Amino acid sequence: MRYLILGGGPAGIAAAKTLRKARPDDEIAIATEEAEAPYLRPLLPDLILGDADAEALLDPQGKDLEEKRIRRFRGRAATRLHAEDKKVEFADGAAERYDLLLIATGGKPEVPPALKKDLPMIRTFDSWKDSLAIKELAQRPGAAVVYGPGFLAIEACRALRNAKREVTWIQPDLPRIGYPIAGELEASILDDVRNRGARIQDGDDIVEVRGKDAGSCVILTRRGLEIPCSLLVVATERIPSVAFLAGSGVAVGTGIRVDEFLRTSVPDVYAAGDCAEFQDKAKGALRINFGWRSAVRQGQLAGENMAGGKKRFSGNEEDYFWALFGSPLLDRVKK
């Protein structure tokens, strides 16, 4: 039996290690788009700050994959799934076959058209590589602007303010997917960001970015503000990475539609983590449970079910809201 996992994040690794326990003699392979060793994405702000080095960012889950005979193909982005042939094609021209497949590709930030410009000071806050670039730019003089609606933007503001940068946070409308931060928790977090000296443009948006010189630009907002800066951090929502599934037969909404066992609409194909979309039975709505803890739990459950288990996953908001956005978030922002 050959198990193929697309994605080397928390869900993919948790699934691989769970499968290895259940299937000690079967072949397990992970194909991941990133070139780095598995790392802890929540610690990327600490990398920008200089509070964490490369060693501290390594994900303990991923340190013994080779020892457990779990193969890992780096730098492989999936481009097409041939479900009828049980084969996945990759951007580098390679192809991998499987008996059972787990899609754990996570998501990528959605960048608005106004910010899709080839300017060196515009940086997306997403990966290890992105964070190193932001860290370098944060050492240069000039103001910084953070753009985004939620958690990632909060973390970017925290990192840049602690790096002594003048920061304006342009906070557009609430996230379209995932969990909005609201009520008393939102008020506490916004007060803390303001107390750090960040300026918050709540409900505003960026309509244009004009390059000024080699190291700076001017941002024009919907409310008519002109904000000069030398760094623009795009910390927008992460949208599930599912484009490669077009024509595969796998049902996709915002994310990959899965049932309570994490099975997709195609036999022998499962999905877990930030790319999986569940039915919230309590509210009768579809939702995506973003977050590291949720991804690990989903990966473990997917691994068990791929090995023959029948464990159900709850996608209800009340089961995960405080695990993702409760006091741990507030404590982290106030560090």
Predicted pLDDT at 321: 46
Pairing relationship of beta strands 206-213 and 216-221 according to DSSP bridges: antiparallel
Predicted pLDDT at 187: 64
Asked if 144 and 165 touch (Cβ cutoff 8 Å), the reply is yes
Predicted pLDDT at 174: 57
SS3 175: coil
- A 10 A CB-CB count for 177 gives 19
Distances from the Cα of 165 to the Cα of 168, 271, 288, angstroms: 10, 40, 34
Containing H/E element for 22? helix 10-22
One digit per residue, the tens of pLDDT, for the chain of length 335 reads 999 999 999 999 999 999 999 999 999 999 999 888 898 888 888 888 778 888 888 888 888 999 999 999 999 999 999 999 999 999 999 999 999 999 999 988 889 899 998 899 999 998 888 999 998 888 888 899 999 987 778 888 888 877 777 899 998 875 555 545 555 656 666 677 777 678 888 889 999 999 988 889 999 999 999 999 999 999 988 889 999 999 999 999 989 999 999 999 999 999 999 999 988 777 777 778 777 888 899 999 999 999 999 999 876 555 554 444 444 444 444 44
Paired strand residues for 201: 170
Predicted pLDDT at 124: 93
Distances from the Cα of 206 to the Cα of 92, 144, 203, 299, angstroms: 35, 14, 11, 37
Pick the CATH number of 2-108+239-318 from 1.20.210.10, 3.50.50.60, 3.30.565.10, 3.40.50.970: 3.50.50.60
Segments making up each domain of the chain, as ranges: 2-108+239-318, 111-236
Asked if 167 and 198 touch (Cβ cutoff 8 Å), the reply is yes
How many Å apart are CA 122 and CA 116, to the nearest integer? Answer: 9
**CATH architecture group of domain 111-236:** 3-Layer(bba) Sandwich (3.50)
Predicted pLDDT at 182: 54
Amino acid, res. 177: I
- A 10 A CB-CB count for 188 gives 16
Question: Would the CATH topology of 2-108+239-318 be identical to that of 111-236?
Answer: yes
Predicted pLDDT at 325: 42
Q: Can you give the pTM of this predicted structure?
A: 0.85
